[in-house]
Amino acid sequence: MSENAMRDWLERHSGPARIHGNFIGGAWRQSASGATYPLYEAALAGRQLGSFADSDESDVDAAVSAADEAFRTWRNSSAMTRSGILFRFAELLEKNKEQLAFMLSAEQGKVLAESYGEVQRAANEARFNAGEALRVDGGTLPSENGAFRAEIVRFPIGVVAAIAPWNFPVVTPVRKIAPALAYGCTVVYKPASATPWTSVKLMELLAEAGVPGGVVNLVTGSGGKVGDPLVAHPLVKGISFTGSTALGLRINETAARRLAKTQLELGGKNAALVLDYGDLHEAAGQIVSAAFACSGQRCTAISRVIVLKRQAPELIRLLVEKLSALRLGPAWAEGAQMGPLIDKRHCESVMRYIELGKQEGATLALGGTRVFPYPESGAGGQDSGGWDHNMGRRGAAGAGGETEDAEQGGYYIAPTLFTDVSRDMRIAREEIFGPVLTVLEAEHLDEAVELANGTEYGLAAAVFTDSVHTAHRLATELECGMIHLNHGTASQIHVPFGGLKQSGFGAYSIGHSNQEFFTGMKAVYVRGN
């Protein structure tokens, strides 16, 4: 694929004239008010990709009513029917991988290699869930009375609200919609307002795969006008949400008032612990990959390195070396490894944390600045000598200033590394959600564990050690839902995914543990033969 293929495709398939509605009851509809909002390309902030329905509570009610009506039939469909549809959906995701990757990179900003990987991951998870339709647990228990038989059966809970974030706009909705369909639930899906475009394509592929009208519905718009009424709707029996801890807590409070189920995947402040590991070069590579994929904008990104003092100087040297080699650029640029942040507001938030880290007394070992990896001509993406392939051109306006390049070329921040970080600093405790990595040094193993557990979050951790004893000890003592030994924080399509403390609540997702959220349980007593 030439590097111009994405730009050529976008020129033909996007623009201000492209207007996208909601998908309700198997048909595309305008919002009730007729209002829309514009979506702009992440790496070309002045270029409009299209307009999307700016929905409100009446659109939500229409979608939930359609899902509730469809549930009456869908819940009784055979497991083989649901499985077959999901297998076809997985095949369609793969068949449309290039188009979805172009759309994903355009609206979210991640480089094409990551977008292709995300679409493939979504297809793999859809395929796993096709099998889940045939793996619903039940059972027969011994009866204390010979005249009775005791059974445990599972049933789909009903209409599920699926609310996804902007950082993974293909795999996250599939991760929620596919198990819902497998277990016999129906869905009202709200994408992040910053990344609704790929969701339109997902609805088209689900319909092409054979999903009946009303089984999956899409409503776009803001959290206040769409998300809040969706979570509070009396016909919604469960809410699967991925996003910030603060919003997750609000959703849980609303759901608890009517005893609706919740599945919450929330924030993280994930640590990589390097504990007398022999191959520091390998550890540094794994850490950089896990910390700066998606420009650090993912809940499982490593954001803290906790290293024993005797290995700290060498590990820091290797981290600086590997970070300096990262190539920033738009998705279509050959060799680009890290794209822009999602938008101006988020970029400003990350820059505030960088300034805070310097004020708190941490040492800025690398990065910490806005960069503009664009030639003077702007959108072309070709190297015309106007930018450095490694780190781009540093912004003349500094940390907070704006230039014409920034407005037109996306919001890039150089990979940033802080050393001499202490546990009480905010950059060591709070989720930054950007390309910022902090290094904390520990005198011994006990202090390393204490540092790792010293935040309100408990999502994931990576442990690098040559000691089997240390590995087993930390697998027990670390307060997080996922522990990765001697590798980064990559998950697998069949393994439960979730966090502890302020990082998650409810049934873990991805694996068979999804059954605990999407189904309820009944005890059935049968008398007679």
Q: Are 216 and 279 in the same domain?
A: no
Residue 399 has pLDDT above 60, yes or no: no
Go through 400-430 and write b for each residue having 16 or more CB atoms within 10 A of its CB, e for each that does not.
eeeeebbebbbbbbbbbbbbebeeebebbeb
Distance CA 353, CA 158 (A): 42
Q: Are 145 and 212 in the same domain?
A: yes
Mean of pLDDT over the chain? 93
Q: Where are the alpha helices (DSSP H) in 395-453?
A: 404-409, 426-429, 445-452
pLDDT given at position 529: 63
pLDDT given at position 528: 80
Cα 301–Cα 278–Cα 498 angle in degrees, nearest 5: 25
Angle separating helix axes 97-108 and 5-13, nearest 10 degrees: 80
pLDDT given at position 390: 42
Residue bearing tokens 């004893």: 469
pLDDT given at position 3: 62
Supply the CATH number for residue 146's domain: 3.40.605.10
In sequence order, what are the residues at sequence separation of 6 or more whose Cβ sits closer than 8 angstroms to the Cβ of residue 138?
A: 151, 152, 153, 154
Q: Are 321 and 432 in the same domain?
A: yes
247 lies in some domain: yes
23 lies in some domain: no
27 lies in some domain: no
Ranges of beta strands (E only) in 26-84 are 27-29, 36-40, 48-53
Residue 380 has pLDDT above 60, yes or no: no
Span 200-220, average pLDDT: 98
Q: Are 262 and 284 in the same domain?
A: no
Residue bearing tokens 């990551």: 114
Strands 186-190 and 261-265: unpaired
Distance CA 363, CA 370 (A): 18
48 lies in some domain: no
Q: Which of 5-9, 179-183, 375-379, 383-387 has the least mean pLDDT?
A: 383-387
Q: Are 251 and 298 in the same domain?
A: no
pLDDT given at position 385: 29
Q: Which of 101-110, 191-200, 389-398, 504-513 has the least mean pLDDT?
A: 389-398
Span 61-69, average pLDDT: 98
512 lies in some domain: yes
Q: Are 193 and 325 in the same domain?
A: no
Distance CA 485, CA 220 (A): 39
* C-alpha radius of gyration, the chain, whole number: 24
Q: Are 214 and 293 in the same domain?
A: no
pTM here is: 0.93
pLDDT given at position 372: 86
pLDDT given at position 374: 57
pLDDT given at position 388: 42
In sequence order, what are the residues at sequence separation of 6 or more whose Cβ sits closer than 8 angstroms to the Cβ of residue 31?
A: 21, 22, 53, 54, 55, 56, 59, 221
In sequence order, what are the residues at sequence separation of 6 or more whose Cβ sits closer than 8 angstroms to the Cβ of residue 317?
A: none
CA dihedral over 126, 127, 133, 135, signed as positive or negative? negative
pLDDT given at position 419: 98
Q: What is the 3-state secondary structure (H, E, C) of 296-354?
A: HCCCCCEEEEEEEHHHHHHHHHHHHHHHHCCCECCCCCCCCCECCECCHHHHHHHHHHH
In the structure, what pLDDT confidence band is assigned to residue 404 with cuts at 50, 70 and 90? very low
In the structure, what pLDDT confidence band is assigned to residue 431 with cuts at 50, 70 and 90? very high
Residue 375 has pLDDT above 90, yes or no: no
pLDDT given at position 408: 62
Q: Where are the alpha helices (DSSP H) in 96-170?
A: 97-108, 112-132
Span 162-183, average pLDDT: 98
In the structure, what pLDDT confidence band is assigned to residue 328 with cuts at 50, 70 and 90? very high
Which residues are known to be catalytic?
265
Greater pLDDT, 401 or 77? 77
Q: Are 290 and 235 in the same domain?
A: no
Residue 7 has pLDDT above 70, yes or no: yes
Residue 386 has pLDDT above 60, yes or no: no
Residue 295 has pLDDT above 90, yes or no: yes
Cα dist. 309→316, 320, 452 in Å? Answer: 11, 17, 15
Q: Are 230 and 106 in the same domain?
A: yes
pLDDT in tens, 157-171: 999 999 999 999 999
Distance CA 508, CA 527 (A): 36
Q: Are 62 and 159 in the same domain?
A: yes
pLDDT given at position 409: 79
Q: Are 208 and 339 in the same domain?
A: no
Domain that holds residue 391: 270-492
In the structure, what pLDDT confidence band is assigned to residue 172 with cuts at 50, 70 and 90? very high
Cα dist. 102→8, 96, 198, 290, 332 in Å? Answer: 10, 10, 9, 23, 9
30 lies in some domain: no
In the structure, what pLDDT confidence band is assigned to residue 373 with cuts at 50, 70 and 90? confident
CA dihedral over 391, 392, 394, 395, signed as positive or negative? negative
45 lies in some domain: no
Span 199-204, average pLDDT: 98
Distance CA 488, CA 484 (A): 7
Supply the CATH number for residue 389's domain: 3.40.309.10
Strands 436-442 and 416-419: parallel
Number of domains in the chain: 2
pLDDT in tens, 222-279: 999 999 999 999 999 999 999 999 999 999 999 999 999 999 999 999 999 999 999 9
pLDDT given at position 292: 98
Q: Are 284 and 349 in the same domain?
A: yes
22 lies in some domain: no
Span 22-46, average pLDDT: 96
